[in-house]
A and B are shown apart, each in its own frame.
Chain A
Amino acid sequence: MRMGVLKRAWRAFDDRIGVSDILGPVLKHPVPPDARWYYIFGSATLFAFLVQVATGIALALAYIPSTANAYDTLQFITHQAPFGRLLRGMHYFGASAMVLLIGVHMARTFLMGAYKFPREANWLTGVVLFVVTIIIAFTGQLLRWDQTAVWSIAVAAEQTGRIPLIGPALARFLLAGDTWGGQTLSRFFAFHVFFIPAVIFVFIGVHLWLVLRHGISEPPRAGRVLDPRTYRAWYRALLSREGRPFWPDAAWRDLLFGVGVIAAIAFAAVVLGPPELGNPPDPTIIQADPRPDWYLLWYFGLLALLPPAIETPVMVLAPLVALAVLLLVPAVSNRGERSPARRPWAIGFVFLTCLMIGTLWIAGARSPWSPVFSAGPIPARIVGTTAQPVAWGGRLFYDKGCEYCHTIAGYGGTRGPDLTTVGDRLTPEELTWRILNGGTNMPAFAGNLTPEQLDALIAFLKSRTAR
């Protein structure tokens, strides 16, 4: 009967507080025995979120959410404050991990039919969590109060502005006034650190509650058909026959992977560091090149590639349709086969979604539609001669803006056709006609070129041959 002092103290504490009473059944709820490595992504998303909460609170020690000061405090956090660089890096890579993992978790539950009866509400709360995760990721990018953040708010306001009737009001709501101003950042700060996290906490609570209420879905098997009338009794029998306590039989996998995620976040933060701050948030610096962070780069690509005629409807309806599709998933099929082997449409749907986002992502990363402002004049080596008028034409190719969109021997943009060997393709007449009149996505230069300039430009372009 010799019990350690610590043990006795714990017993007394536990008796008065009731830790084991409350948490015991939760931690030890039975789970299907073969629920293994596929089941770790939800908890890993939660781990990433907790990293965000912790590092976010820490960053708030120094960050001042005022439009005048935020940029300077970010410089301080990144370059002066001990651990500041690490914390900012962890907050960035934590956000990246959270977006990535919630996507994987969603794809996994969809492919394995885990959203089917009786777990429809698990799916629906998960969809809400997915949407607010994207929103909090975007607002987080805005708190990195540099030039890109400022212009990203303008881009967001323009997008909401396309919504019929309420669009202009929504745009004004985002800007918090006529333009960016003293209110803009403090509001996004409040959204990012109070409003949206509150929603996330509530929905994580409900989501976990539902996991306990309905139990973890058993791994599907092809041919085992889910029938809502018999499922609950069958599942209960399965658990009482072969169920294992979640803690510790299954939880160790969640912890192993979750801690691995945390370690990876910290590792990336140390090695790669936080995204560098751009120019100060000064709207009069026109040399801006706003791009969203990687998780929305594909959408940036989509916005460039949409044909103008369908642009506004797509911009307004596509997010709504995507949300509706996700919310309707359990309504479309909440019974029957759960195994991906018997659900080719589900595999096709996930595959096409990944293909679409991947393709747009590559397009967004390359953004061939953007003029290349950094291109300098074509080097003399490429022009190949100092004889006039070809040399002058080569200079005009840069001065008149051709080079922003056209490449010659690797110099210039990719919006328009590569003109490295255009002399082989087009006659002087064709070149003249195209330059003066413009074309699809090419300005007309008729009012901008003197006859001598045009002749020089044509001479230069005609000298561009494969030879």
Chain B
Amino acid sequence: MNGNRPASPPAESAAPPGRREALTRVSVALGALGAAIVAVPIVGFLLAPLFERQVQVWRPVGAADGFRIGETVKVDFPDSSPLPWAGIVAQTAAWLRRESEDHFVAFSVHCTHLGCPVRWLPGADLFMCPCHGGVYYKDGTVAAGPPPKPLSQYPVRVRNGQVEIQTSPIPITT
């Protein structure tokens, strides 16, 4: 059966060694060029999220009159520029606390330890994280557990009687 294999090229072929070496280099270079032409847009597309800059916007979350002083409630609002197929995932929750007549604080729901969603316990005046047991006071400072820093806050303002929260990236503890 082995007799059917194509014969290997003669060791001494017509091409001189210099030409053969040049052909090798050209072929390798051509291969690299072809790979690069394809790779550049792919790698660029893969890394695209690093280059995109999302414009943050103010989102109304309800009339100021609807929030009682001293209470912390969950408010929901859409992300800055949701893609049409993002669906429900484009929604964000925040813990909004009315400190006084004209002062609101909006906490991120992300635990600063590893990003799990903290829950507000109104009776205890505490935020608790289900993952690794982080606990925060009502002002967002750490009360117990592994969180390295207080809950992060969203910019919040009152415009024409509406409370507005500025969209922000998910806070990443560094």
Contact = CB atoms under 8 A, between A and B. Distances in A.
A and B bind:
yes
Interface of A: 15, 21, 66-69, 150-151, 154-155, 157-159, 161-162, 167-169, 171-173, 175-185, 280-284, 286-290, 300, 303-304, 306, 308, 311-312, 369-371, 373, 399-402, 404-405, 415, 438, 441-445, 447-448
B116 A68 contact: no
Contacts of B174: 161-162, 167-168
A182 B86 contact: yes
A67 B82 CA distance: 11
Query: Which A-B residue pairs are the 5 nearest by beta carbons?
Result: A68-B87, A401-B124, A182-B83, A443-B143, A161-B172
B49 A67 contact: no
Contacts of A404: 121, 124, 128
Contact of B47 (A173, A185, A311): A173
A308 B148 CA distance: 7
Contacts, number: 188
B146 A311 contact: yes
A443 B135 contact: yes
B115 to A, nearest CB: 4
A281 B168 contact: no
Contacts of B89: 67-68, 150, 180-182, 184-185, 281-283
A112 B80 CA distance: 56
Contacts of A445: 124
Contacts of B121: 401, 404
Contacts of B23: none
Interface in B105-146: 109-110, 113-119, 121, 123-126, 128-133, 135, 137, 143-146
B74, B76, B114, B121 — most chain A CB neighbours (10 Å): B114
Interface string B59-100: 000000000000000101001101111111111110000000
A220 B173 CA distance: 49
B81 to A, nearest CB: 8
A369 B128 contact: no
Nearest to B91: A284
B16 interface: no
B74 A179 contact: no
Nearest to B122: A399
A284 B76 contact: yes
B52 interface: yes
Contacts of A150: 89
Contacts of A306: 146
A160 to B, nearest CB: 9
A401 B123 contact: yes
A183 B49 contact: yes
A304 B1 contact: no
Contacts of A154: 110, 114-116, 170
B18 interface: no
A290 B80 CA distance: 25
16 contacts: A66-B85, A69-B87, A151-B115, A151-B117, A154-B114, A172-B49, A177-B54, A178-B169, A283-B93, A288-B117, A288-B130, A304-B146, A370-B131, A401-B124, A442-B144, A443-B126
B123 A171 contact: no
Contact of B87 (A67, A151, A287): A67
B119 A444 contact: no
Contacts of B85: 66-69, 182
A150 B86 CA distance: 13
Given A67-B85, A158-B172, A283-B89, 7 more contacts: A157-B170, A173-B47, A370-B131, A370-B133, A371-B129, A401-B121, A443-B126
B132 A281 contact: no
A154 B83 CA distance: 19
A281 B79 contact: no
Contacts of B35: none
Contact of B116 (A155, A405, A438): A155
A176 B1 CA distance: 56
A311 B145 CA distance: 12
